[in-house]
Structure 1
């Protein structure tokens, strides 16, 4: 394997762009540490420690912290180091030079995007368009929204983000359309179908969760046009 040593050395020295990150949380957050390894919940969570991904990650983190290879030992090390020191240690080891954060997931004591700039040279925001839409709809009630009134505000919101040049600079839009309704996006969806889809979403009650295919396809296509007008990429999260 000696012939690959030069290649291995080159690969390990390359800095990386993490274009699918989420906000870190405070050390005393109620977010379970084990969920950093998996999105499983309920009974499925008990199987996580037996997965290859968990075992490999645990070994690597323990080696980085100089702790025993156990979840408890790593958590103790994190508490001892503190969040800032452990973050600096991990980011340096990972050689992350660009961190693009999708902050569309709500975590307890989630740290803002600006906080991460102490550890990575370039930090930007990935705007999850469905979460923008859900937040808008949560401000109203079933009787106040029409497709027209919603789309007017939705468009204004989307267009405002690329103009922000302070802490939360948007580097790209992101859609979870593939998660919610699949990649067979209907490019011919009508306003009538979208309006019916909006009503379906509103009738489901709070918290708002956009999953109606016609409505999510409609807002995705609209967000894509806005992204194009600002020369922004559109990420489609597929897993």
Structure 2
């Protein structure tokens, strides 16, 4: 089963791409979560993700597997960004992409609007609204800010399939189980407005936003996605451990809103436990599947130790580069196929069991959760 045969994939969390002729350094810079220069004498291709790009992407551009990075970049430039993007996205074989629109550019270039991305990917595309981005656009007095934020979120989410929070980046995931008091929210809004607005990082406002999102999602029947685990240096890793959300998860249960824990790594086992313990918690591996390269089957196995098969979702979390879509889908197919081959050889499951599990994670769970 190593070349896993599954229906076209539903990528339940991703971003749009840049279609621009990027300099080699700018392109390679999108192969890392770091926003700092690489160590002297190295490039981002010197990584497990770099190996995965050179494994899966060269054939889509007419090169042999494991073509050197310099040859790959030269061939990409020869084809041009638009043609390379078309080939790489087509090779990914995606059916549906749920795109977080909270980011507007990558490497200094604008990301494709959703309609253009859908055409380039040959996939159906739906929007995931980023909570903090919506809140930062609201112009209001401190007293009217909470109500106007709720109105703005409800309007933005009306045509979306989910709302997403990046509170893990802004303050961490130790979210209290109680809603902030209204007076505290107004006072915090006043502080933020007097400071000139900008990036919203006040913990009281962030917690208020999460509870507001729960209310709006409950009304609209939408899941709430939360970034967990590793990311760029703007994040403090231990504060992004999904187990820190446990009190909030318990408190949110009466809302009936599904909570979707994205990425998780290196706390993916904690995310899997939460999905096992709480009926409304779902999880994925996301960009981790690409970043761990040859270890993808092992890490998938660690998630499936506890995560119910109907609670694990597929995503690439691809951002900026079409390569990350192809790598994400190829790593998933290969990793899950390798894992299930081992299970079947050990007598842990039948071939039919393996196919059913693969269909669930590849697409069926997302279609059910997001009502696609």
The TM-score by the shorter chain falls in which range? 0.7 to 0.9
**For each residue in 1:142-164, what CA deviation from the matched residue of structure 2 results, as whole angstroms up to 9, or x when unmatched?**
xx621x32223222222223444
Query: 1: CA distance between counterparts of 2:97 and 2:122?
Result: 7
Query: 2: CA distance between counterparts of 1:228 and 1:29?
Result: 42
3-state SS in 2 of match to 1:20: strand
Is structure 2 residue 26 aligned with structure 1 residue 36?
no
Equivalent residue number for residue 85 of structure 1: 83
Deviation at 1:203, TM superposition (A): 4.4
3-state SS in 2 of match to 1:38: coil
> Which of 96, 99, 111 is the aligned partner of 1:98?
96
3-state SS in 1 of match to 2:110: coil
Gaps of 5+ in 1: 1-6, 165-169
Q: Is the 8 A contact 2:31 2:45 kept in 1?
A: no
Equivalent residue number for residue 10 of structure 2: 17
Counterparts in 2 of 1:63 and 1:121: CA distance versus 1, 3 Å: closer
Give TM-score scaled by structure 2 length.
Answer: 0.53
Equivalent residue number for residue 53 of structure 1: 49
Gaps of 5+ in 2: 230-372
Equivalent residue number for residue 109 of structure 1: 110
Query: 2: CA distance between counterparts of 1:188 and 1:161?
Result: 22
Counterparts in 2 of 1:93 and 1:182: CA distance versus 1, 3 Å: same
Equivalent residue number for residue 149 of structure 1: 144
Moved more, 52-61 or 109-118: 52-61
> Which of 174, 184, 188 is the aligned partner of 1:193?
184
Counterparts in 2 of 1:29 and 1:210: CA distance versus 1, 3 Å: farther
> Which of 113, 123, 126 is the aligned partner of 2:125?
123
Q: Is the 8 A contact 2:96 2:123 kept in 1?
A: yes
Flag the structure with more relative contact order, 1 or 2, with Cα contacts below 8 A and sequence separation at least 6.
Answer: 2
Query: 1: CA distance between counterparts of 2:182 and 2:38?
Result: 40
Give TM-score scaled by structure 1 length.
Answer: 0.79
The total of aligned residue pairs comes to 219
